[in-house]
Structure 1
Amino acid sequence: MTSFVMHLQSATQYERIERVTMFVGEDSSGSFGIMAGHQRMMTPLQFGLARFRTNDDWEFLALPGGLLYFVDNELFVNTRHYLRDQDCVRITKALEEQLRKEEASLREIKDSLHRLEEEMFKRLWRLGRGREASV
């Protein structure tokens, strides 16, 4: 069976995977598959799981979205970060845990910004009162 090369790229990771025979992902139009010799294409990937096959083994990728580009029998998957595993259940749990951590971090940032905003308004109010007293 013919194969292609897949390049997984994120801000902190890069992997070159040889002998990929199939990639299955999802974009806004739904699920799709790519095999060796596929025509050139580019599409934004949806948040979720993708999978690819090397030899007779399937591996899974958890992606927060990304950009897929296939040209000259090479597949480029660019994303902010990704998780890769052969066990679908394990990668799903890892993705859920990562999402929980990111949501908690976002809540902390929002709370911090809210406190900063309140403090700025208090200081502006005090500055305004100081000007009124000096007039």
Structure 2
Amino acid sequence: MQTFELVMIDSTKELRCKNITLFHGSDRSGQFGIMARHQTFMTSLLLGLCWFFTIDDPLPTYVALSGGILHFSRNILSIVTPHFFVDKDMQKISIDLEQELKMEEQQRKEMRERAKNLEKEMLKRMWEMQKEAPK
């Protein structure tokens, strides 16, 4: 059976897997599968679960990812995503992805609050400067 290589990259890590026989993912058009020697292909992945099989393991390996770009060319499947988790246990990686997304949302909320406070302080300072300016 023919195989291909899978390369996944996120903001903190890179994972390379060889001997992949089938990758299954989904994009806006639906679900799809990629096997070795697939023609060149590129798509935008949705947030969720993908999975792949290797030649030496009949059970799937699951990948939870927060969207991303998939590119297949020259028998190498590359995925670039903000975050991914790989595990044989689908429940575990689903929980990991959910926790990561919640943490990111909290960080965005805190950043918005800091930006709002900075804007208030700047307006306050500009108002004070305008009052102090000679007329």
Match of 1:109 among 104, 108, 111: 111
Residue of structure 1 equivalent to 2:26 = 26
Residue of structure 1 equivalent to 2:39 = 39
SS of match in other structure, 1:56: strand
Q: Counterparts of 2:128 and 2:75 in 1: how far apart (Å)?
A: 65
Unpaired stretches in structure 2, ≥5 consecutive residues: none
TM value normalised by structure 1 = 0.92
Residue of structure 2 equivalent to 1:11 = 11
Q: Following superposition of structure 1 onto structure 2, how do residues 1-135 of structure 1 map, counting pairs within 5 Å?
A: 1-54=1-54, 55-131=57-133, 134-135=134-135
Q: Counterparts of 1:12 and 1:104 in 2: how far apart (Å)?
A: 19
Instruction: For residue 12 of structure 1, report the CA deviation from its aligned partner.
Output: 2.4
SS of match in other structure, 1:120: helix
Instruction: For residue 11 of structure 1, report the CA deviation from its aligned partner.
Output: 2.9
Instruction: For residue 56 of structure 1, report the CA deviation from its aligned partner.
Output: 0.9
What is the alpha-carbon root mean square deviation over aligned residues? 1.2
Report how many residues are paired.
133
Q: Counterparts of 2:121 and 2:87 in 1: how far apart (Å)?
A: 46
Q: Counterparts of 1:127 and 1:15 in 2: how far apart (Å)?
A: 54
SS of match in other structure, 2:131: helix
Greater shift, 88-97 or 54-63, is seen at 54-63
Greater shift, 38-47 or 8-17, is seen at 8-17
Unpaired stretches in structure 1, ≥5 consecutive residues: none
Percent same amino acid at aligned positions?
38
Which runs of at least 4 in structure 1 moved beyond 4 Å after TM superposition?
Answer: none
Cα deviation code 1:50-105 (max 9, x no counterpart): 11111312111111111111112211111222111111111111111111111111
SS of match in other structure, 2:126: helix
**2:20 counterpart letter in structure 1:** V
Q: Counterparts of 2:44 and 2:13 in 1: how far apart (Å)?
A: 19
SS of match in other structure, 2:2: coil
